[in-house]
Chains A and B, each alone.
Chain A
């Protein structure tokens, strides 16, 4: 469409920026070195605006909007950080830490975890809301991979990478609200899945230690996500 080719000028955090029309606020901001915190967003996958970490304020708009799904418009005035936004973001991360059982000290991704990195970045040193300590299972049925629901933040990156990139759609979500859980196939154990190709993309895109390779000790699971922008580029632009 015409407006996708045009360039829009807008103001982000007081800076005049120009970006290709049709870009999201997140893309435009990152192009200009303004990094808005995200969790469910991963470059190469569709954006769902679910974690709410990337919410930004737009002058004149009644509500905060997710930067990952909102397209820029000419003359938009965006604020990506403020004490209020910082407080909301900290609470979101607190909610995640309180929701399930995140014990960094003994976790395979200790030191390489998106959730942990967010806490550091936002200056979160303790969780004020009560920990729930729910009882959730571990699925060790797969030969090479491990699913630990205790560490899952329901970002649905695994669902999206398996559906959009691998094309198997092994992962999806069952249940509602606080009872929601990621599942393989029709809630069969991962090791018995008839659709899983064993590609391991889900393990790599998972932001925490929920999905990991078996046989890793605490801190040993380091994710490698370069394949994703590469595959997306190849699919968009051919060979």
Chain B
């Protein structure tokens, strides 16, 4: 497949789409999928055929459209899916299979007002979709759709440049790892490229395990080709010929779509032995996890791919030099790879013009919790938490007040409402005792017990600890027990002092990030909400 052939295919696909009068796109993301998206697609397609729409109406499933739920208080009257109609650009919410006849008959006529979503609201207008630029536009099961939207053009463009130039572009973009650590991506690629050895690997960390995080899921299910394209560009840049996507078993939809996408890409010569008829070959395989959060830690992930127990290894050596099967390995998060096609297409400087001085580009967040608008959003770095919660998020439902925003999952912390004007960037969040994390963002109202929040996350870390190192294996159990005592009103001042001491010890002595960061939610809530802990302590000094 040469660039010319790719462009031809894209053009043919686009004109076929243009020939259709109406496109009805049904969201098949996580939420809408469980709300019956498949049935809605089927019903709409049937109706389209029934009204003789055949060639005039195209019904397709697309990836997550973003606004999973608008909570106005009280239980929802009906549970349905999002549907977008083109060319009118109407967005409907809560569409069920029963609505299909009405919806089809409304095409080209008056819209269904009671289902209409205002696409001029901040939730949509304040986003900057780069990672998600094609998610929600393309049918994830059709490579042709992705190609029509410009897909794989960046890969072919990259193959015409020397690998060092591609790396330079990524470095210029200022992209930092989106899995949470924020390590400069260009630097990581450069390290792997320079590592000795002809056998190298590219691995995509799709083991998204934070409770409340569904960003990577959205990309994997809604736009799998984008991830493949990013990985292939990376492979060219670092000199790898084999790649793995390690996807958690709890995302069967993503696994299926990835496997389909790989097959389709290979069929078009965009993956496989000779990509775009060049000598460069790159094969990708999906490896499925087995229910361990710790396998999101890179060395545990690699151990799992190798067939061993998913337990981390001491670093150094780092995977860039000694990784999968002992070979230099580039391992990046889904969102990091999904940034790459746009960077290659527009140039690194383009991305660097978005965001802040040290945090370039955008970040995808799963906005959830006590907030009106829940769903997946993509915003420029540097936007404030206040904007995210109150403008994009639509504020707090049920007449309550915002108490805190939790980022970084079990490795992160809570930013109190008093600091909502904090810009969202790597350094600012760390300065307040949290981290960027992979993108989980949970809004908490004033009914939330912060001690309970800490206890919940410690319980998660405790259950997910791999058990290899003593501080994490045993320390999380003791910290969880102390938090339970305090939360239950049975804790003493000595218990609290011991908890704080163990937080320091576990953080300093654990083998991997899981243990090191397990105390973070405790330390964060102690920093901003200490009074809640102290109010629960028993008066007696008895130990």
Direct contact between A and B judged by beta carbons closer than 8 A: yes
Could you tell me which A residues sit within 8 Å of B by CB distance? 48-52, 55, 63-66, 69-70, 87-88, 91-92, 95-96, 98-99, 128-130, 132, 153-154, 172-173, 175-180
In the complex, whether B358 has a CB less than 8 A from a CB of chain A is: no
Establish whether residues B467 and A176, one from each chain, have CB atoms under 8 Å apart when the complex forms: yes
Would you give the shortest CB distance from B111 to chain A, in whole angstroms? 52
Asked if A178 meets B477 with Cβ closer than 8 Å, knowing A92-B509, A128-B498, the reply is yes
In the complex, whether B385 has a CB less than 8 A from a CB of chain A is: no
Establish whether residues B466 and A95, one from each chain, have CB atoms under 8 Å apart when the complex forms: no
Q: In the complex the two chains form, what is the Cα distance from A92 to B464 in whole Å?
A: 20
Further pairs besides A52-B471, A177-B473: 13, Cβ < 8 Å? A49-B469, A63-B508, A64-B509, A92-B470, A95-B475, A95-B478, A154-B470, A172-B309, A176-B466, A177-B463, A177-B476, A179-B467, A180-B467
Establish whether residues A96 and B309, one from each chain, have CB atoms under 8 Å apart when the complex forms: no
Q: In the complex the two chains form, what is the Cα distance from A172 to B308 in whole Å?
A: 11
Collect the chain B residues with CB atoms within 8 Å of residue A130's CB.
478, 481
Collect the chain A residues with CB atoms within 8 Å of residue B498's CB.
128-129
Would you give the shortest CB distance from A29 to chain B, in whole angstroms? 17
Establish whether residues A177 and B465, one from each chain, have CB atoms under 8 Å apart when the complex forms: yes
Q: In the complex the two chains form, what is the Cα distance from A48 to B478 in whole Å?
A: 24
Considering residues A55, A63, A95, A130, which has the most beta carbons from chain B within 10 angstroms of its beta carbon?
A: A95
Collect the chain A residues with CB atoms within 8 Å of residue B473's CB.
99, 154, 177-178, 180
Collect the chain B residues with CB atoms within 8 Å of residue A177's CB.
462-467, 473, 476-477
Q: In the complex the two chains form, what is the Cα distance from A153 to B473 in whole Å?
A: 11
B308 (CB) vs chain A CBs: closest residue: A172
Would you give the shortest CB distance from B153 to chain A, in whole angstroms? 42
Collect the chain A residues with CB atoms within 8 Å of residue B510's CB.
52
Considering only CB atoms and an 8 Å cut-off, how many residues of chain B contact the other chain? 30
Establish whether residues B505 and A178, one from each chain, have CB atoms under 8 Å apart when the complex forms: no
8 interchain pairs, CB-CB under 8 A:
A50-B469, A65-B314, A92-B471, A96-B470, A129-B478, A176-B294, A176-B466, A177-B466
Collect the chain B residues with CB atoms within 8 Å of residue A95's CB.
470-471, 474-475, 478
The 10 residue pairs across chains A and B that have the minimum distance between CB atoms: A180-B467, A177-B465, A95-B474, A49-B314, A69-B314, A177-B467, A52-B509, A99-B474, A50-B468, A91-B505
Q: In the complex the two chains form, what is the Cα distance from A150 to B483 in whole Å?
A: 26
Q: In the complex the two chains form, what is the Cα distance from A48 to B468 in whole Å?
A: 9
Q: In the complex the two chains form, what is the Cα distance from A173 to B316 in whole Å?
A: 24
Establish whether residues A88 and B309, one from each chain, have CB atoms under 8 Å apart when the complex forms: no
Asked if A52 meets B470 with Cβ closer than 8 Å, knowing A64-B509, A88-B509, A98-B478, the reply is yes
Question: Using a Cβ cutoff of 8 Å, how many contacts connect chains A and B?
Answer: 91
Q: In the complex the two chains form, what is the Cα distance from A51 to B475 in whole Å?
A: 12
| B481-519, CB < 8 A from A | 481, 498, 501-502, 505, 508-511
Q: In the complex the two chains form, what is the Cα distance from A65 to B509 in whole Å?
A: 8
Establish whether residues B309 and A173, one from each chain, have CB atoms under 8 Å apart when the complex forms: yes
Establish whether residues B509 and A55, one from each chain, have CB atoms under 8 Å apart when the complex forms: yes
Would you give the shortest CB distance from A135 to chain B, in whole angstroms? 15
Q: In the complex the two chains form, what is the Cα distance from A51 to B470 in whole Å?
A: 6
Collect the chain B residues with CB atoms within 8 Å of residue A175's CB.
467
In the complex, whether B292 has a CB less than 8 A from a CB of chain A is: yes
Q: In the complex the two chains form, what is the Cα distance from A224 to B86 in whole Å?
A: 79
A172 (CB) vs chain B CBs: closest residue: B309
Establish whether residues B471 and A176, one from each chain, have CB atoms under 8 Å apart when the complex forms: no
Q: In the complex the two chains form, what is the Cα distance from A132 to B481 in whole Å?
A: 10
Collect the chain B residues with CB atoms within 8 Å of residue A65's CB.
314
Collect the chain A residues with CB atoms within 8 Å of residue B509's CB.
52, 55, 64, 88, 92
Establish whether residues B474 and A178, one from each chain, have CB atoms under 8 Å apart when the complex forms: yes
Collect the chain A residues with CB atoms within 8 Å of residue B314's CB.
48-49, 65-66, 69-70
Establish whether residues A91 and B469, one from each chain, have CB atoms under 8 Å apart when the complex forms: no
Q: In the complex the two chains form, what is the Cα distance from A183 to B251 in whole Å?
A: 30
Q: In the complex the two chains form, what is the Cα distance from A55 to B471 in whole Å?
A: 12
Considering residues B476, B478, B481, which has the most beta carbons from chain A within 10 angstroms of its beta carbon?
A: B478
B294 (CB) vs chain A CBs: closest residue: A176
Would you give the shortest CB distance from A97 to chain B, in whole angstroms? 10
Would you give the shortest CB distance from A41 to chain B, in whole angstroms? 12
Asked if A64 meets B508 with Cβ closer than 8 Å, knowing A129-B478, A176-B292, A178-B477, the reply is yes
Establish whether residues A98 and B511, one from each chain, have CB atoms under 8 Å apart when the complex forms: no
Establish whether residues B470 and A178, one from each chain, have CB atoms under 8 Å apart when the complex forms: no
Establish whether residues B477 and A132, one from each chain, have CB atoms under 8 Å apart when the complex forms: yes
Q: In the complex the two chains form, what is the Cα distance from A49 to B469 in whole Å?
A: 8
Asked if A50 meets B474 with Cβ closer than 8 Å, knowing A175-B467, A176-B467, A177-B463, the reply is no
Which listed residue, B294, B469, B477, B501, touches A52 by the CB 8 Å rule? B469
Per-residue interface assignment for chain B, residues 34 to 77, with 1 indicating a CB less than 8 Å from any chain A CB and 0 otherwise: 00000000000000000000000000000000000000000000
Would you give the shortest CB distance from A128 to chain B, in whole angstroms? 7
A96 (CB) vs chain B CBs: closest residue: B470
Which listed residue, A70, A98, A178, touches B467 by the CB 8 Å rule? A178
Would you give the shortest CB distance from A187 to chain B, in whole angstroms? 14
Establish whether residues A176 and B478, one from each chain, have CB atoms under 8 Å apart when the complex forms: no
Which listed residue, A49, A63, A66, A178, touches B465 by the CB 8 Å rule? A178
Establish whether residues A176 and B505, one from each chain, have CB atoms under 8 Å apart when the complex forms: no
Per-residue interface assignment for chain B, residues 280 to 301, with 1 indicating a CB less than 8 Å from any chain A CB and 0 otherwise: 0000000000001010000000
Collect the chain B residues with CB atoms within 8 Å of residue A176's CB.
292, 294, 463-467
Asked if A98 meets B474 with Cβ closer than 8 Å, knowing A52-B469, A175-B467, the reply is yes
| B428-464, CB < 8 A from A | 462-464
Asked if A154 meets B478 with Cβ closer than 8 Å, knowing A91-B502, A92-B509, the reply is no
Q: In the complex the two chains form, what is the Cα distance from A154 to B473 in whole Å?
A: 10
Collect the chain A residues with CB atoms within 8 Å of residue B462's CB.
177-178
Establish whether residues B511 and A49, one from each chain, have CB atoms under 8 Å apart when the complex forms: yes
Q: In the complex the two chains form, what is the Cα distance from A178 to B502 in whole Å?
A: 17
B465 (CB) vs chain A CBs: closest residue: A177
Considering residues B465, B474, B476, B510, which has the most beta carbons from chain A within 10 angstroms of its beta carbon?
A: B474
Collect the chain A residues with CB atoms within 8 Å of residue B508's CB.
63-64, 88
B505 (CB) vs chain A CBs: closest residue: A91
Would you give the shortest CB distance from B430 to chain A, in whole angstroms? 13
Collect the chain A residues with CB atoms within 8 Å of residue B292's CB.
176
Q: In the complex the two chains form, what is the Cα distance from A66 to B475 in whole Å?
A: 18
